[in-house]
Chains A and B, each alone.
Chain A
Amino acid sequence: MHDTMTLPLAERTWPGYLRQDGRKGIRNLILVMYTVECASFVAHAVAAGEEDVHVIGFSGCYDNAYAIRLMLALATHPNVGGCLAIGLGCEYTQPAKLAELAEQSGRPSDWFYIQNEGGTRSGTARGKAALKSLRERIDAEAKIVPMGWSDLVVGAECGGSDGTSGLAGNPVVGRFYDFLVDHGGSAIFEEVVEMIGLREILLSRAATPEVAAELATTYRKAEDYCKAVRQYSVSPGNFAGGLTSIEEKSMGAFAKSGSRPIQGVLRVSQPVPKPGLWLLDSVPDNHFMQFGYTNPNDTEGIMDLISCGAQIVLFVTGRGSVIGSPVAPLIKVTGNSRTFERMQEDMDFNAGTILEGSKTLDEAAAALMEMVGDVAAGMLSKPEALGHREYFVMYKHQDTPELAAGCRA
Chain B
Amino acid sequence: MSQTPTSQMRCFQVNPADNVATALDDIAPGEVRVLGASAGTVVVAAEDILLGHKIGLRRIVEGEPIVKFGVPIGIATVVIEPGAWVHLHNCRSQVDERSSHLDLKTGAALDTAYA
Contacts and interface: CB of A to CB of B under 8 A. Distances in A.
Interface string A185-201: 00000000000111001
A329 interface: no
Interface residues of A, number: 32
Given A197-B96, A240-B106, A242-B51, 15 more contacts: A163-B51, A167-B22, A197-B73, A201-B71, A230-B98, A236-B107, A236-B109, A240-B105, A241-B52, A242-B22, A242-B50, A242-B87, A244-B88, A244-B91, A355-B35
B69 A255 contact: yes
Interface string B70-85: 0111100000000000
Contacts of A237: 107
A255 B22 CA distance: 16
Contacts of B22: 163, 167, 242
A239 B73 contact: no
A245 B66 CA distance: 11
Contacts of A43: none
Contacts of A357: 35, 39
B3 interface: no
Given A163-B52, A230-B98, A355-B35, A198 B71 contact: yes
A284 to B, nearest CB: 21
Interface of B: 12, 14, 22-24, 35-36, 39, 50-54, 66, 68-69, 71-74, 86-88, 91-96, 98-99, 102, 105-109
B52 A245 contact: no
B102 A232 contact: no
B69 A251 contact: yes
Contact of A239 (B71, B92, B99): B99
Interface in A241-273: 241-248, 251-252, 255
A237 B51 CA distance: 13
A234 to B, nearest CB: 7
Interface of A: 162-164, 166-167, 196-198, 201, 230-232, 234-248, 251-252, 255, 355, 357
> Nearest 8 CB-CB pairs, A to B?
A163-B52, A239-B107, A242-B52, A236-B107, A245-B93, A242-B53, A248-B73, A251-B69
B107 A238 contact: yes
A198 B94 CA distance: 11
Contacts of A166: 14, 69
A232 B14 CA distance: 24
A278 B27 CA distance: 39
A246 B66 contact: no
20 contacts: A163-B51, A163-B53, A167-B14, A196-B95, A198-B71, A201-B71, A230-B98, A231-B98, A238-B107, A241-B52, A242-B52, A242-B54, A243-B52, A244-B86, A244-B88, A245-B74, A245-B99, A246-B96, A251-B68, A255-B69
Q: Determine which residue in A232, A241, A247 has the highest number of CB atoms from chain B within 10 A of its CB, and name it.
A: A247
A246 B96 CA distance: 7
Nearest to B102: A239
Nearest to A238: B107
A232 B108 CA distance: 14
Contact of B88 (A198, A239, A255): A239
Nearest to B104: A239
A51 B69 CA distance: 44
A246 B69 contact: no
Contacts of B66: 244
Contacts of B108: 236
A245 B71 contact: no
Contacts of A246: 93, 95-96, 99
A403 to B, nearest CB: 28
Given A162-B52, A248-B68, A232 B95 contact: yes
Q: Determine which residue in A162, A167, A241, A245 has the highest number of CB atoms from chain B within 10 A of its CB, and name it.
A: A245
A232 B71 contact: no
B98 A247 contact: no
B54 A244 contact: yes
B35 A251 contact: no
B102 A197 contact: no
Nearest to A171: B14
A242 B48 CA distance: 13
A238 B22 CA distance: 14
